[in-house]
Amino acid sequence: PDPMRCYRTSLFDSYRRFVLNAFGLLNVPPPEIPSVALSLRHRTASKNVGRILANEAEVVAVLKEGNMMDLNVVDTSSMKFSEQLKLIRNTNVLVGVHGAGLMFIMFAADEAVLVEIHPSYRQDRHFRHAARLTGKIYMPLRSHVREHCQGSSDSVTVPIEEFKQTMDGALRIARSFDDGLSECGLVCPLNILALDSKLDSLYSRHGLRKSSPVNTQFPCG
């Protein structure tokens, strides 16, 4: 069969369960609210890695606009594997430039979204497959600005307006996971958040104050 039409494989599922069970992370409750991890790569004196975000600060700023969500901005190369796995297992929106780190999507929360940022020149579908084959939702985004280079290392410019739209969509999906009731995206109106009483204990932690909920009574006589 056409591999692009494959949606499940026992091989992926068995491997995923084996690894998570080995680290005591198989039966982990889903995040209470959207948990976003932005996976970054940085050049070091010893390693001139590629696919660096040229406009990293802008990308992070977009994510920080979001409310009632958790955000982790990480370079996993500085973390132990067990730490990486624990972080990703508690993530339901994984964001990053095309690269091997996106394979972690198979270990994310049972319901999760992968937002893959493609450099202008890459047309691989590796992580689309990894997301699909482990029951995750895949949302691609492509840079349309030619990359600039430092030796063999390239920097990728993310189209910010399109990134905002993509993240708004990803958060709308993530807020509906499990039994979530917030029908909104990256920046969620407080009167919509107020419809979900399970969020009541989380307002102070996120610097928010609960408002009156939107009126859900039928308006017509």
For 83-114, write each residue's pLDDT tens digit: 999 999 999 999 999 988 999 999 999 999 99
Token match 């969620």: residue? 188
pLDDT tens digits for range 24-69: 999 999 999 999 999 998 888 777 887 889 999 999 999 999 999 9
Helices 10-22 and 81-89 sit at what angle, rounded to 10 degrees? 110
Instruction: Please say whether the beta carbons of 43 and 53 come within 8 A.
Output: no
Which secondary-structure segment (H or E) carries 37? strand 35-39
> What is the Cα–Cα distance from 66 to 56, expressed in whole angstroms?
16
Q: Give every CB contact of residue 47 below 8 A, 6+ residues apart in sequence.
A: none
Query: Region 197-211: what's the mean pLDDT?
Result: 95
Return phi, psi of residue 197, to 5°. Answer: -65, -20
Neighbouring CB atoms inside 10 A of 36's CB total 25
